[in-house]
Structure 1
Amino acid sequence: MNTSDDVGTKSTAKCLLDNWVEERATSFIDTEESKAHISKHGHQGIISMDLVSKTQDVTTVKEAFIPPAASQIRQRGLREELLEKALYSTISQQVDEEFNPGPPPAEFISTTREDFKVPGFQSVPPSPSKEHDYKSEQAISFWSENHEKVQRVTAVKTRDTPFKRNSLFSTPIGQRLDDPVL
């Protein structure tokens, strides 16, 4: 009474009467694997015909699975964990030194020293053009040489003491008798 056509249409699984259409649609797939394999991996091509899609590997068993929570009991010893951390830090430090070497040592050679050396040259300071009395003469600086060019500077009467106090800015014009300009 059983023919080859009847074997493909009959289902060996117990199902509700309303599910017989689905059972009949997957009966040719169910013959190849065991029930545990089907429960774990599902049927290929039922949810999606695209075999590369993400939903192809999704089953209700995989989606409903909740991984067990980790127990609060230590699984490894404290010494083993500390040794592992120390090993990781030393290896990472060695790898970091290998791939990221430090900067090269600094060379403290000035441009003047490197570019303007002439073999046999002796640097000798020039001899003074005249004798200077450092006790009585005003020191020569940039400002003492260029004070005439700078604006808003008080008038310089003598070259030997150009930066002394000057009361010309507060003296009334009538009392400034020593000024030859007036």
Structure 2
Amino acid sequence: MDLVSKTQDVTTVKEAFIPPAASQIRQRGLREELLEKALYNTISQQVDEEFNPGPPPAEFISTTREDFKVPGFQSVPPSPSKEHDYKSEQAISFWSENHEKVQRVTAVKTRDTPFKRNSLFSTPIGQRLDDPVL
């Protein structure tokens, strides 16, 4: 007798019992199954809409229309202080006014056009003796 051995889980009834095979005959009609699936889908959609409502409708009102379109307001643009030629003049921006304060920018040769091409990168050092930046 082996006292350490495990007992087997198989009994005579478990060994002899064969579960019945599923019947190949349809127990419910195809239409009934489709109607049940459709009913489950509609109910699940209704429950989902009830517990997870969509976002509220967005209000598409621009700041201009909301804040600046006051009845009776007349917009009067200021008169120019001098004549400007947009084709030949350099545009004034934050960078054009503060180009001296910006770090890692190449030397500016002309004050009116600070962002034009600069040939200092490709000019040999021997030919740049007239450069006041060095």
TM-score (norm 1): 0.50
Q: CA deviation at 1:163?
A: 2.3
Cα deviation, 1:13-55, whole Å, max 9, x if unaligned, reads xxxxxxxxxxxxxxxxxxxxxxxxxxxxxxxxxxxx9999999
Structure 2 CA distance for partners of 1:180 and 1:93, relative to 1, 3 Å: closer
Q: Which structure dedicates a bigger proportion of its chain to helix? A: 1
Verify the 8 A CA contact 1:154 1:166 in the aligned structure 2.
yes
Q: CA deviation at 1:107?
A: 1.1
Q: CA deviation at 1:117?
A: 7.1
Q: CA deviation at 1:137?
A: 1.0
Cα deviation, 1:41-99, whole Å, max 9, x if unaligned, reads xxxxxxxx999999999999999999865423211111111122112222222232233
Structure 2 CA distance for partners of 1:75 and 1:180, relative to 1, 3 Å: closer
1:100 to 48, 52, 57: 52
3-state SS of paired residue (1:165): coil
Q: CA deviation at 1:153?
A: 1.4
Percent of aligned pairs with the same residue? 99
Verify the 8 A CA contact 1:50 1:56 in the aligned structure 2.
no
| Between 122-131 and 148-157, the greater mean CA deviation after superposition | 122-131
Bigger relative contact order (CA 8 A; separation at least 6): 2
Structure-to-structure mapping, 1:76-91, within 5 angstroms: 76-91=28-43
Structure 2 CA distance for partners of 1:172 and 1:76, relative to 1, 3 Å: closer
Question: For structure 1, which runs of at least 5 residues remain unmatched after alignment?
Answer: 1-48
Structure 2 CA distance for partners of 1:66 and 1:173, relative to 1, 3 Å: closer
3-state SS of paired residue (2:7): helix
Verify the 8 A CA contact 1:138 1:160 in the aligned structure 2.
yes
Verify the 8 A CA contact 2:107 2:133 in the aligned structure 1.
no
- Count residues with an aligned counterpart: 134
**Higher Rg:** 1
Question: For structure 2, which runs of at least 5 residues remain unmatched after alignment?
Answer: none
RMSD (Å), alpha carbons:
7.1
1:138 to 81, 87, 90: 90
Structure 2 CA distance for partners of 1:76 and 1:176, relative to 1, 3 Å: closer
